[in-house]
């Protein structure tokens, strides 16, 4: 299962919008875990209850609308995040191919396949944003997000690595609806090495 974490600088930077489009792009069995952290949460709340998930106007309802097979809401404080994540994982169907996790602090506990960070010019930011950005594979400016979502040829994002596995390159292209040859050219132009060819031809 491919795990993608979508993080961001602020609460309303566009994470849910991007996740919704990614679900549509992936066009397979996708699960989503939305994390909601508050210092005042004393309990670990993990739910896939349709009456909560499908509540009109909520991000979780949007994820279901776009085709996510499983959508799970995790509410807790920082100390309960890892245990809550483990509980949420147990609620996923066995045939889930991609898991998208929304949140910053979860990156303190897991090592996902990919990390996408949405940046903005907003002077305010979450405390967890700086660390999340440092771990990101792809950094997208909020002002470029809409164009990236609509256009599979848009390359308006920053690559935050010096080398990438062939598997991860394919996952990036599939999630963001980017044409493989165009992404390959971008990697060549930036002298980014592709490692672990899936055909076993290159190392």
| Residue-wise pLDDT tens digits, 75-100 | 999 999 999 999 999 999 999 999 99
> CATH number of the domain that 49 lies in?
3.40.50
Supply 140's token pair: 């997208």
How many CB atoms are closer than 10 A to CB 54?
A: 13
Domain extent at residue 147: 2-163
Residue 170 lies in a domain: no
Higher pLDDT, 148 or 25: 25
| Residue-wise pLDDT tens digits, 98-143 | 999 999 999 999 999 999 999 998 777 777 899 999 999 999 999 8
Whether residue 202 has pLDDT greater than 50: no
Residue 181 lies in a domain: no
Residue 57 lies in a domain: yes
Average pLDDT, the chain: 90
Instruction: Report d(CA 57, CA 61) in Å as an integer.
Output: 7
The total number of structural domains in the chain stands at 1
Query: Which residues, listed in sequence order, are joined to residue 102 by a DSSP beta bridge?
Result: 6, 34
| Residue-wise pLDDT tens digits, 164-183 | 988 999 999 999 988 888 88
| Residue-wise pLDDT tens digits, 59-75 | 999 999 999 999 999 99
Residue 176 lies in a domain: no
Higher pLDDT, 200 or 101: 101
Q: C-alpha angle 201/135/74, rounded to 5°?
A: 110
Round to the nearest angstrom and report the end-to-end CA distance of the chain.
23
Question: What does DSSP assign to residue 111?
Answer: -
Whether residue 186 has pLDDT greater than 60: yes
What are phi and psi for residue 110, nearest 5 degrees?
Answer: -130, 160
Residue 148 lies in a domain: yes
| Residue-wise pLDDT tens digits, 38-60 | 888 889 999 999 999 999 999 99
Nearest to 104 by CA among 18, 5, 175: 5
Residue 169 lies in a domain: no
Residue 193 lies in a domain: no
Residue 28 lies in a domain: yes
């Amino acid at each position: 299962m491919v795990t993608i974490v979508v993080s961001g600088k602020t609460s309303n930077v566009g994470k849910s919008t991007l996740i919704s489009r990614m679900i549509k792009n992936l066009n397979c069995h996708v699960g989503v875990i939305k994390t909601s952290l508050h210092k005042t949460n004393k309990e670990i709340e993990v739910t896939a209850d349709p009456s909560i998930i499908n509540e009109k106007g909520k991000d979780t309802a949007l994820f279901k609308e776009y085709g996510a097979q499983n959508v799970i809401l995790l509410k807790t404080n920082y100390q309960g995040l890892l245990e809550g994540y483990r509980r949420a994982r147990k609620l996923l169907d066995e045939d889930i191919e991609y898991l998208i996790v929304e949140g910053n602090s979860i990156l303190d506990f897991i090592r996902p396949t990919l990390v996408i960070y949405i940046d903005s010019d907003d002077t305010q930011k979450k405390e967890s944003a700086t660390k999340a950005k440092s771990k990101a594979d792809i950094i997208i400016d909020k002002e470029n997000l809409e164009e990236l979502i609509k256009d599979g040829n848009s390359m308006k994002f920053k690559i935050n690595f010096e080398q990438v596995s062939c598997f991860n390159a394919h996952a990036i292209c599939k999630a963001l609806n980017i044409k493989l040859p165009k992404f390959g050219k971008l990697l060549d132009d930036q002298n980014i090495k592709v490692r672990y060819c899936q055909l076993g031809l290159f190392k």
